[in-house]
Structure 1
Amino acid sequence: MDTLKLASQQLQKLEPHGRTEMKLPNNGFLFLEHDVPYLIVYRRKTKDRQTMRLAKTGASFLILGKDDEDYMHDFLLELVDRMAERFRSFLVVELEKRDLGSTEFIISGPYKKLPSTLDQLAKELEKIDIRYDAKLTATIVDSSAENTENGSPLFEESFLRVKGGTYVRLQIPPVYRTLENKEFPVFFRKFRTQFAKALQQSIYEFIRVQTTSKIASYHALGKRRIHEEVSKIDKEITAIQNSYSFLLLVAPINIENLKRSYFNNGFKNIGTYHYRLLPIDPDILKRKLYQLDIHEIDDPALAYIYDEKREEIDQELTMLKERGSKNFFYSSVRLYQDISTQLLKEAQLILNNIAEDDLASEKTDMDAYDFQKLAENEFDFFRKQAPDFRSKVHIRDDINIMMVAGGELYLPSGYRMTKMEARALIQHELGTHALTYFNGTRQPLQQLAHGLAGYDALQEGIAVLAEYLADALGVNRLRTLAGRVVAGDALLKGANFDDMFSMLYKEYGFAPQRAFDITSRMFQGGGFLKDIVYLKGLLELRDHLANGGTLEPLLAGKFALRHLTIVQELTHRGLLHPPKIKPRYLLNASCDQKLRQFKKGMPLHNMV
């Protein structure tokens, strides 16, 4: 066949770092990564789409059309010969589906040659969670005594062994289908993720022992290319996310008037919050969200992060429709979760051990234009590391808070601050938010710039730690973060506006202005827990670093700590990159010492 001749010619060009991708007759397909010494093979069967999708989770896979194996046999032997010549050995794993109702994997392979690989495969497969209380089992059958009741093998082991290859058949129990052959789609996605990990861990054992490959981790054995459909989903979900400003739309537009009235009334009767009109239709955006074929992504790691992000955007859109109602608060709890006992205790320790600095507001000696010079100097520092860094500083009359949006810094024209606050804001807003945005834009996935689901806590935790490492974390700043936590706890326990303000003002000694700011932010939308993430993120970051984690990999984009394993896996595969620019505070003489103290689990109230 002409196609087979073309495929054979392709084998003459298996250059390092390359890949071969081609269609084959009868709806077959070859995707071969030249630097990966294994291939997953699937022989197409009717009504067996799930097994084919399991095969396509591999870095290299071959889908054979119906009845293709006879004329593909010599091509595969040639492929194994070429790859084994380069890597000393090459593994072929064929996936097949077992009968409905089975809960047992059957692993057929040369056990005497690969005892550790096959034993690990069985062990990892048995860890896969199954619905209800059933348990999966895995049985190893030596290929020399193989039972062929489920069909003949693709290769005779002896033929492959001469070429330097090893052949393993893996028969998979379709526990993701009912006895009536109906799919459990949500369970299948979970099964696929765990199955891919089990297979990759076991294949890595083979690679480590049997080949000359320099692959250093099983994390590198997943897909090494971002499919164009994934890039399309990435752009579309980012466009939906960027079509509205969630925080702006849940912030009241009449808060200054409410504050004056509240203070004039002796700290009573807050009045009614008013919000901006919605510039989008949440229902239309939700429709667009669920038209994205995220569940068709064959890479389980990428499918997970986009599915999770879609759910978060869905929750935000629901909350926009619920502004001003109690349902907004319930949705906020779901989005930002509860306050742990440890987090509340740390917040209370801060407030009980640190007194408010009543004179701090009188020390403001820098304006927006002074700060602009500092910010531009910081941007120049970034440009020395990355000449393509393009962010600018904008001083505006139509905003009332400092913010970073799209990597750009926006300053209110009347903004004033102390020199210490300026240092803190430089490392918080630029050294963290603008920096991770830029690093995220240099990733192949736009979501790393705009934020994976739940990224806020880690972002704010790093930003507050940056203030500390830059010797700029102030007393009132840390107290404010703690105050937000105790206010969030009060909100969860049913406190009203007056109760919360009184607690902060009278029990914890906050000045009326700060007590109002904390309370008013906590009640925006109908009850908003986002402000707990600052101290929560700092606490989680301290625990992560205390357990051996490092700071720099967390600067590669905007993601949550729970995504770190996925980010590391995608980096191992070459799909993501280490951070391109790093913050200035890492160069401070005191940084290493302060970071070591923080890693040891220092109480947060000792940070000032």
Structure 2
Amino acid sequence: MSTTHSILDDKSILDDLEPGKRTVRSLPHGGFLFLEHDVPSLLIYRKKPEDDATLRLARTSASYLIIGEDNFDYFRHFLVELTEKMAARFGSFILIEIYSGKTGSTEFVIKGPSHKLPASLNVLATEFEKIDSRRYDVRLTTRIEQTKERQLKESEPLFDIEEIKERGGTLVGIEIPPVYRDSKGHVYPLYFKSFRESFAQAVQQAIFEFIRVQTSSKISSYNALGKREIHEEVLKIDKQITAIQSSYQFLLLVAPVNIQSLRDRFFETNFQEINSYHYRLLPIDPDILKRRLYNLRIDEIDDPALAYLYDQKREEIDQELTMLKERGSRNFFYSSIRLHKDVPKNILAQAKLILENIPENQSSAEENLLDAHDFKKLAEEEFEYFKEQSPDYNGTIHIRKDVNIIMVSQGELYLPEDYKMSPQEAQALIQHEIGTHALTYYNGSRQTLSQLAAGFADYDATQEGMAVLAEYLGGGLSGNRLRILAGRVVAGAALIDGADFKSMFNLLHFEYGFAKERAFNITSRMFQGGGFLKDIIYLKGLVELQEYLGGGGELEPLLAGKYSIKHAPLIKNLTERNLLKPATIKPRYLKTKEFQPKMRAFKEGIALSKMI
């Protein structure tokens, strides 16, 4: 069969290139095309033996062509026709061929019309120079070469430069230093992940600069030049990692079941004796779950943003499963430090400032306190507000004897049967637990990725910072509440310094003036599991959130699911690629008249002690 006949026989491929259509299909002679209808660019890679890593670099793009090893003329003619059709639609079309340089090379060579595309090629060079290399004893350099030879010298040209110019195309070649593999072709997997992420971003930024200046495309961000669909295998990994996480309730399993008897004994003995903590039986085998966790082929995810998010989540789940095996031991405490980190000095200083400047208010009359059933009614009213925005919302509430804190787990609200609170505290907790935790769980459950409901790695601090901010914006943040958050930080620092139960309680009760019940609650939470630092993240998350919003970050995107501030750029990236969507339901406090002035004050750096 002649080359011409091959093109004619497959003319339907080009006929399918219409606005609104994505073209994903195998081509004759071992080729593959993935083309977005609204992207006037194409990343090109020619298959080579033992060069899978470079192939994966090509697959990070929204539009790419893999050229097979047979019948090169077919692909040359196909590219000419494709260029003509895409250039007619957008005014211009850029083709970037990537290939690996010789073993030992540490130089990116960008080959293209530098006199015509100075901005695009300079962006490319600048971003390549940011790729992390020095700490691995590699010195990457970048060179822009003005040449008509856009490929490796030993490779056959894709086409004549003048011909492709006549068809409305621009060709750029990128010779990539193969520093991500050794002389035998073995890839360094951890470094390759970082290299791939930086490489993809560099290419997307350069292409966006070309599109912005040279074409009629309406693409408004370089993020939109990443992959526009989530591969079926990634969705399987997402569901599997969420299933593993959902098979156990970490907070419930590290909370003691005998908290009431612990409190009674400690008070009866005048703060001298604390009995042993008792825990629920583990409903899972951590080792089996770890085996399932590391059978997931996260390393094969070609989308750098998603690969990074799931790799971090796997590590976090691994740490939690280890901690479940270590309950009641000193090793649990050491693992908690790994998971929640140390107490930063600036957070500890803020905590002490709060405790020194805000006295505890013990004037609440007993008859004004609300019990768990009163709180349940308030929670149900908030659920109804959510239903007005999304009729399929369904909130669940459990009043239990065997929990010692109000919490939301997997979107469901758990209330201690003996819990009592003031009306102001109840209002704060409604916005904290329902207006933040339950809300973001629901919004995350409406996303394509189930991990936005379960929570990506390190989401806790951001979630708790948002929840405390919600208390402030909703008008329920009190001095006592702020003191509790500060007390938890001071207690966490004391735990790290080696305090035992009695000395921590004495520090809170006698030195910082906490009522014995509050001092006990803070202390008992800090010692559950064997030493649990999670409680330091409330104040820590609030400070991080204030810095983020004060620096131009936005609150509403954080409501779309459970993720960390540090992942906000990645979530924005995925949202701009239409892989994720904005929040389905929003909290009540956004519509109050106090919202704007309070948010403005928070962004401008109001002292935490002034937020009450």
TM-score by length of 1: 0.97
* Structure 2 CA distance for partners of 1:416 and 1:6, relative to 1, 3 Å: farther
Distance in 2 of aligned mates of 1:22 and 1:424: 54
Match of 1:251 in 2: 255
* Structure 2 CA distance for partners of 1:3 and 1:328, relative to 1, 3 Å: farther
The answer on 1:605 being equivalent to 2:609 is: yes
The answer on 1:267 being equivalent to 2:271 is: yes
Distance in 2 of aligned mates of 1:449 and 1:6: 47
Question: Which structure 1 segments of 5+ residues have no match?
Answer: none
Distance in 2 of aligned mates of 1:308 and 1:266: 45
Distance in 2 of aligned mates of 1:32 and 1:236: 29
* Structure 2 CA distance for partners of 1:398 and 1:274, relative to 1, 3 Å: closer
Counterpart AA for 1:492: I
Query: Quick check: 2:109–2:145 contact (8 Å CA) kept in 1?
Result: yes
Q: CA deviation at 1:322?
A: 1.2
The answer on 1:433 being equivalent to 2:429 is: no
Match of 1:538 in 2: 542
The superposition leaves residues 269-302 of structure 1 with CA deviations (integer Å, 9 ceiling, x where unpaired) of: 3232222221111111000000000010000000
* Structure 2 CA distance for partners of 1:6 and 1:239, relative to 1, 3 Å: farther
The answer on 1:40 being equivalent to 2:49 is: no
The superposition leaves residues 347-377 of structure 1 with CA deviations (integer Å, 9 ceiling, x where unpaired) of: 0011000111112372544344433333222
The answer on 1:292 being equivalent to 2:327 is: no
The superposition leaves residues 289-336 of structure 1 with CA deviations (integer Å, 9 ceiling, x where unpaired) of: 000000100000000000000000000011111111211111101100
The answer on 1:104 being equivalent to 2:107 is: yes
The superposition leaves residues 493-551 of structure 1 with CA deviations (integer Å, 9 ceiling, x where unpaired) of: 11111111111011100111111111111111111100001111111111111111121
What SS does the aligned partner of 1:417 have?
coil
Distance in 2 of aligned mates of 1:293 and 1:235: 13
Query: Quick check: 1:461–1:536 contact (8 Å CA) kept in 2?
Result: yes
Pick from 283, 299, 319 the counterpart of residue 315 of structure 1: 319
The more displaced of 447-456 and 416-425 is 416-425
Query: Quick check: 1:469–1:595 contact (8 Å CA) kept in 2?
Result: yes
The answer on 1:78 being equivalent to 2:81 is: yes
* Structure 2 CA distance for partners of 1:147 and 1:260, relative to 1, 3 Å: closer
Query: Quick check: 1:143–1:157 contact (8 Å CA) kept in 2?
Result: no
Match of 1:55 in 2: 58
Distance in 2 of aligned mates of 1:72 and 1:337: 53
Q: CA deviation at 1:469?
A: 0.8
Query: How many residues are treated as equivalent by the alignment?
Result: 608
* Structure 2 CA distance for partners of 1:460 and 1:356, relative to 1, 3 Å: same
* Structure 2 CA distance for partners of 1:363 and 1:25, relative to 1, 3 Å: farther
Pick from 204, 213, 224 the counterpart of residue 200 of structure 1: 204
* Structure 2 CA distance for partners of 1:285 and 1:148, relative to 1, 3 Å: closer
Distance in 2 of aligned mates of 1:552 and 1:503: 39
Q: CA deviation at 1:457?
A: 0.6
* Structure 2 CA distance for partners of 1:217 and 1:315, relative to 1, 3 Å: same
What SS does the aligned partner of 2:94 have?
strand
Match of 1:341 in 2: 345
Query: Quick check: 1:102–1:174 contact (8 Å CA) kept in 2?
Result: yes
Distance in 1 of aligned mates of 2:364 and 2:11: 75
Counterpart AA for 1:227: H
Pick from 388, 392, 395 the counterpart of residue 391 of structure 1: 395
* Structure 2 CA distance for partners of 1:237 and 1:370, relative to 1, 3 Å: same
Q: CA deviation at 1:420?
A: 1.3
Match of 2:187 in 1: 183
The superposition leaves residues 151-175 of structure 1 with CA deviations (integer Å, 9 ceiling, x where unpaired) of: 2221221111111111111111100
Match of 1:19 in 2: 22
Pick from 511, 526, 535 the counterpart of residue 522 of structure 1: 526
What SS does the aligned partner of 2:507 have?
helix
Counterpart AA for 1:267: F
What SS does the aligned partner of 1:95 have?
strand
The more displaced of 220-229 and 66-75 is 66-75
Distance in 1 of aligned mates of 2:150 and 2:83: 22
Match of 1:590 in 2: 594
TM-score by length of 2: 0.96
Distance in 1 of aligned mates of 2:189 and 2:405: 45
* Structure 2 CA distance for partners of 1:151 and 1:133, relative to 1, 3 Å: same
Distance in 1 of aligned mates of 2:389 and 2:355: 40
What SS does the aligned partner of 2:239 have?
helix
Q: CA deviation at 1:262?
A: 1.5
Distance in 2 of aligned mates of 1:372 and 1:3: 70
Pick from 160, 163, 174 the counterpart of residue 159 of structure 1: 163
The answer on 1:351 being equivalent to 2:387 is: no
Query: Quick check: 2:460–2:537 contact (8 Å CA) kept in 1?
Result: yes
The answer on 1:409 being equivalent to 2:419 is: no
The answer on 1:30 being equivalent to 2:44 is: no
The more displaced of 360-369 and 443-452 is 360-369
The answer on 1:449 being equivalent to 2:456 is: no
* Structure 2 CA distance for partners of 1:367 and 1:512, relative to 1, 3 Å: closer
Distance in 2 of aligned mates of 1:463 and 1:276: 28
Distance in 1 of aligned mates of 2:329 and 2:416: 31
The more displaced of 420-429 and 224-233 is 420-429
What SS does the aligned partner of 1:516 have?
helix
Match of 1:330 in 2: 334
The more displaced of 122-131 and 224-233 is 122-131
* Structure 2 CA distance for partners of 1:415 and 1:265, relative to 1, 3 Å: closer
The answer on 1:547 being equivalent to 2:551 is: yes
Distance in 2 of aligned mates of 1:26 and 1:241: 44
What SS does the aligned partner of 1:473 have?
coil
Query: Quick check: 1:122–1:138 contact (8 Å CA) kept in 2?
Result: yes
Identity of aligned residues (%): 59
Counterpart AA for 2:224: A
Question: Which structure 2 segments of 5+ residues have no match?
Answer: none
Counterpart AA for 1:440: G
Query: Quick check: 2:465–2:540 contact (8 Å CA) kept in 1?
Result: yes
* Structure 2 CA distance for partners of 1:37 and 1:229, relative to 1, 3 Å: same
Query: Quick check: 1:452–1:559 contact (8 Å CA) kept in 2?
Result: yes
Distance in 2 of aligned mates of 1:3 and 1:474: 75
The superposition leaves residues 209-245 of structure 1 with CA deviations (integer Å, 9 ceiling, x where unpaired) of: 1111111111111101000001000000000000111
The more displaced of 490-499 and 149-158 is 149-158
Distance in 2 of aligned mates of 1:466 and 1:560: 17
Distance in 2 of aligned mates of 1:203 and 1:476: 54
The answer on 1:67 being equivalent to 2:70 is: yes
* Structure 2 CA distance for partners of 1:392 and 1:606, relative to 1, 3 Å: same
Query: Quick check: 1:41–1:64 contact (8 Å CA) kept in 2?
Result: yes
Q: CA deviation at 1:595?
A: 1.0
What SS does the aligned partner of 1:75 have?
helix
Q: CA deviation at 1:413?
A: 4.9
* Structure 2 CA distance for partners of 1:148 and 1:241, relative to 1, 3 Å: closer
The more displaced of 174-183 and 1-10 is 1-10
Query: Quick check: 1:153–1:169 contact (8 Å CA) kept in 2?
Result: no
Distance in 2 of aligned mates of 1:3 and 1:273: 74
Query: Quick check: 2:290–2:318 contact (8 Å CA) kept in 1?
Result: yes
Match of 1:229 in 2: 233
Q: CA deviation at 1:101?
A: 0.5
* Structure 2 CA distance for partners of 1:266 and 1:371, relative to 1, 3 Å: closer
Alignment of 1:486-497 (within 5 A): 486-497=490-501
The answer on 1:8 being equivalent to 2:11 is: yes
Query: Quick check: 1:8–1:75 contact (8 Å CA) kept in 2?
Result: no
What SS does the aligned partner of 1:92 have?
strand
Distance in 1 of aligned mates of 2:150 and 2:217: 30
Q: CA deviation at 1:405?
A: 2.9
Pick from 196, 207, 214 the counterpart of residue 210 of structure 1: 214
Match of 1:132 in 2: 136
Distance in 2 of aligned mates of 1:273 and 1:415: 20
